[in-house]
Structures are given as C-alpha cells and as structure tokens.
Structure 1
Amino acid sequence: MKNRYSYALLALMAFMVFSCNEKQKPKPEKVKAEVKTANNPAMVPPAWIRKRVEKAQKELLKTEAGSILWKGMEAHGGLATWFGNGALSFRFKYMPLDGGTVRDSYQTINTWSNKARHYSVKDSTDQFGWTGEKAWIKTKDSTSFAYDTKFWALTPIYLMGHPFVLDGEGVNLELLPQTEFKGKTNDVVKVTFAAGTGDAPDDYYILQFDAESHLLTATRYIVSYPEYFKDGGHAPEKIMEVGELVSVDGVLLPNSLKTHWLSDEGGLGEHITTIEITDISFVKELPEDFYEVPESAKILE
C-alpha cells in the first residue's frame, strides 16, 4: 500500500512539473511573430505599442491642449492602430500654383522611428531616403529630384500625418482660443518643439479640430529649416486645409491638402499649393535592410 501511494505521489508531482513547464513555454505562433517583427522593419512589437500609447495618453491628458490632441488621435482611428498597422505607404504630389517645383514621389515611412524611403514616379530606381541618422540619394538623373531631398524625406508625413506624428518627445502644446472654420467651431492647439528636436525645431503648427467630431480641419504652420534661412527666421505663416478623410485600415487620413496664405482675419487667403495624396496603404512586410543606405547611394550632409 505504501508503494502504491508513493508511486501516485511521484506521478502527481511529475504532472505538476510538466504542467508548469507547459505554461511557461511560449506558444509557437508567439515565437514566430516575435522573430518576424524583429527582422521586419514594417512592424513593431505589440508590447512596444502598448507602452508608447499608454505613455502618450498619460502625458497628453495632463493638460486641456493635450486632451484635445488625444481626442483628435482617437477620432482619426487611435494611436495604437496607427502604429500597429505597419509602415505607411503613399504617393505625395506637391504642386505649387505659381509654377514652382513639383515634388512627386512614392514613399514608405516607418511611423514610429521616422525612417523613410522615396521612389521617383518616373523611374523607381531613382530614390532617396532617411535612415534615422543619415540622408541619402541614389539617382541616374539629377533632374529626378530637383529639390532638397534631405528636407523632403520626412516633410510629407509631417504635413499629412497629424495628429499622430505629435505623440513623442520634445513636443510642447498650448491651448489657443476657439475659432470658426467654414461655419463650425474649432478647438485650437499650438505645437512647438524643444531645442534639438529634428532639423527645424523653430517650426510650429497650429492645429484646428472640429469641436464636435474632433477631426482635424486645418493646420497653420511655418517653415524655419536652417538651410533655407541661414540667418534665422522663417517663411510667412500658411494655413493648410484638410481635404476628404479616407479610412485606411481603420485610420482616417486626408487624400488631399490645400495650402493658402493666411488671410488678415486668420482664415483661408490665396490658394497657393495643391497636394494630392493617393495610393495610401499600410505595409506589413518589408526587407530587413529596406531603410538602410543602398549601394552606390550618395550620403547627404
């Protein structure tokens, strides 16, 4: 009888050890997903997303200006969806109405670490990009990109990616008085940047959100890029009207933007630039070296 109980006890202990090991062992699909994310620059781990979203929400909800920005993010689909969908791909065609340089490229942007790769619409082998540390260009024809590609690598996402692009470090928010825009009351938040944030920390944006829907309606902004303004200063303030919002994998993004000079009353003045944003999609698979400097590319200082 004693031996029977001893065997039963040993069997129970073995089962308990086996069960604990099984609980601790990660599921095969989880391991596969982590490996895939680690080597795939289009995706970021869910745990990272949760941590960043929780941090952004906590910081933004401390102030009324931040709360308006957070409501805007939620109305546009949510910060977690923005990061979780993958890299953002789109065609951005910037067309000045005064005959200035048209800027037209396909691009794929890593939305959480601000890496970019652009392709010429005429020849996809002509490219430029930003690795997060270095700007580069690779082109057979100097006329393919007749503009400052270092400046332009991330400019499109900072024009069409509001309010999501304002969740990180170095962002300062100020609540401004409500305004009327196209017959509707808008909440207004001014965004400035801490010194050392990006290539143009003196830039600012003034975002207008519909007070009822919390959707972005217009953005006032300046350009202070030091390469353009070597002695300091900035371009005159403009106001950019947000076009139709389209749903892309649960995120609302504009399919067009119209830039105007700011009127004396602070509204839409002369229409000076039209921007078409097409072929918008999120990409979940990219080569591991997608954002690295390609062979024979020139590094831009």
Structure 2
Amino acid sequence: MEVSCKNNKSETTNYSEEELDITTRMYPENISNVFKGHGGLDTWKNMQSLVFTMQKPNGDEMTTTDLKNSKSLIEMPNHTIGFYGKSVWLHSKDTTTYKGNPKFYYNPMLYFYAMPFILADDGIKYEDAKPLVFEGKSYPGIKISYNAGIGELPGDEYVLYYDAETYQMPWLAYTVTYFTKEKAKEFHFIKYSNWQTVEGLLLPETLTWYDYENNVPTTKRNDLQFINVILTRSPPLKTLFEKPEGCSCCELISGIDFFYYA
C-alpha cells in the first residue's frame, strides 16, 4: 500500500506551487518506527546545524550544513564548495584542478549521512518494498519516491531496509538519475554500521558501498568513515555559505548559478 506524505493530495500534486504545512504530515507505521529507532523525528527537527568530517585518501573533507535551508559548505584540502540557497560555487585554494561536478556533489553526502531523517521531507511517497536478503538475514524494505516539483531530481528513488527487531536501518538502495535524466533501473547499495549517538540521535560512523548484481548487494567495495560529528540546535552563521569575493568566472548550468573562483 502506498502512502503519501501529504493528506488528501493527489499523487500528481506539484508541490513547487503549493505552500506546505508540515503539521499535517502523515507517515506510515514502519517509517515512523525507523525514525524512533534512530532517536526520534522530533529530536532531529530541533537540530539546525550538522557538521561531519569524511576521511578520504587525499585528505579530510569537512561538511557544514544548515538543516533548515540545506545551505552547505564542503572544505577539502585543495578546494571549497559552497551552496548558499540557489547557487553553487567552487573555490580553488591552489592550482590543483577539481575533477568532480560541484553542482552534483554539494549535497549527496548529506542525504546519505542524514538517513533516515532526510526521508521525512515534504512531497515524499512511501510504499512497501520486497525485503532484502543478505547473508541469511531478511530486512523489510520501504521504497521512497517523490512527487512532481520536489527536489531537482524527483526521478530518484531510494529503498530503506531496516532491522525488524530494532528498526534501525543497516541498508540503503538508491538510484542515480542526475547524469542521464532518465528513470534508473539499477540500484546502488550502502551498508550503515558502527552507530554513534550524537545529541540523542543514532548516526553512522561507517558507510560501506557494495558492488551489486540484479539489484542485490554482492561484495564490499569501499568504506567511508565519518568523524567529528556535531549537531546543534543553533543555526550556523549565514555568512559561512556566501560565495567569496573576486569572481573570475560565472556561468549558468541547468538553471542554477555556478560560480568558479580560481
């Protein structure tokens, strides 16, 4: 049975044209229990700032996010990426070329790390999914999709798999539509482990990506460690996310301003 996040709304509702009232939200019992299993949605909604550091081969990478408006700052050894509401900017600290895509990279790690709470956003639809069986254990699934007008890529889909006893989520499956703009058929898989309690919320220390076949995880590919996790009830400074002065180049990419600073 499919359940929408919004009462008395058609599946075709365009939420970009509507004022949303979060007090009218409904959640299915299974996703509600998952929220509770990780410390509770009310506790999460009281938080305004999230900071975490990812340990990477080329150096640590620290991300600061304003949880109320998704503004973010990613500080890397050679570059800084910022998103201040509508525009993404890239600042190069030296002559090292940034080989990624700033517009794609500024928020996916927040989405992955802030599971399951990020799946309480407006305009989400929930439905039961086929359980995931891995190493002899079965994990019930909740499929997540988006109503029209929600997010930049409403075609993205997620499946949250949870432990039926603890209601903690050890697995996430997700599709990527950013590059093709078409509905994806293959799911990628992340395993969540080494849980840590931060301000009463259960958050992972380790995310592990797995290879997959026929939409089932197979063998471990790589780990990503999250350290120095900070949640606060006060917002970060607004100026933190603003683009630096001295723009050397500015262009418009897919309807969003992208600023590059050498």
Q: TM-score, normalised by structure 1?
A: 0.68
Distance 1:165 1:79 in 2: 10
Task: Check the 8 A contact 2:211/2:217 in 1, yes or no.
Answer: yes
1:86 aligns to 2:36 (yes or no): no
1:256 aligns to 2:206 (yes or no): yes
Task: Check the 8 A contact 2:209/2:220 in 1, yes or no.
Answer: yes
Distance 1:164 1:106 in 2: 20
Paired residue for 1:23? none
Paired residue for 2:258? 300
Q: Relative contact order (alpha carbons < 8 A, sep ≥ 6): 1 or 2 greater?
A: 2
Match of 1:107 among 26, 45, 63: 63
4+ residue runs over 6 A deviation: none
Q: Deviation of residue 135 (structure 1)?
A: 1.1
Paired residue for 1:99? none
Distance 2:226 2:150 in 1: 26
Paired residue for 1:220? 173
Q: Deviation of residue 170 (structure 1)?
A: 2.1
Distance 1:237 1:118 in 2: 26
Task: Check the 8 A contact 2:189/2:211 in 1, yes or no.
Answer: yes
Q: Deviation of residue 291 (structure 1)?
A: 2.6
What's the CA shift string for 1:127-146, capped at 9, x where partnerless? Answer: 21112211112223353642
Match of 2:36 among 58, 74, 78: 74
Cα 1:182/1:109, change in 2 over 3 Å: farther
Cα 1:141/1:234, change in 2 over 3 Å: farther
Paired residue for 1:178? 131
Query: What amino acid is the match of 1:110?
Result: D
Distance 1:85 1:167 in 2: 14
Query: What amino acid is the match of 1:132?
Result: G
Match of 1:196 among 149, 155, 158: 149
Q: Deviation of residue 263 (structure 1)?
A: 3.2
Distance 2:218 2:95 in 1: 35
Task: Check the 8 A contact 1:184/1:210 in 2, yes or no.
Answer: no
Query: What amino acid is the match of 2:31?
Result: L
Match of 1:273 among 200, 206, 222: 222
Aligned length: 230
Paired residue for 1:169? 122
> Which blocks of at least 5 consecutive residues in structure 1 are unaligned?
1-50, 61-65, 96-101
Q: Deviation of residue 88 (structure 1)?
A: 0.4
Paired residue for 2:180? 229
> Which blocks of at least 5 consecutive residues in structure 2 are unaligned?
1-20, 251-256
Higher percent of residues as helix? 1
Cα 1:131/1:285, change in 2 over 3 Å: closer
Cα 1:285/1:199, change in 2 over 3 Å: closer
Query: What amino acid is the match of 2:141?
Result: V
Distance 1:235 1:138 in 2: 35
SS at match of 1:195: coil
Higher percent of residues as strand? 2
What's the CA shift string for 1:2-49, capped at 9, x where partnerless? Answer: xxxxxxxxxxxxxxxxxxxxxxxxxxxxxxxxxxxxxxxxxxxxxxxx
1:242 aligns to 2:154 (yes or no): no
Task: Check the 8 A contact 1:223/1:235 in 2, yes or no.
Answer: no
Task: Check the 8 A contact 1:115/1:130 in 2, yes or no.
Answer: yes
SS at match of 2:30: helix
Paired residue for 2:3? none
Paired residue for 1:157? 110
Distance 1:270 1:238 in 2: 12
Report the structure number with the largest CA radius of gyration: 1
Q: Deviation of residue 235 (structure 1)?
A: 7.8
Task: Check the 8 A contact 1:255/1:276 in 2, yes or no.
Answer: yes
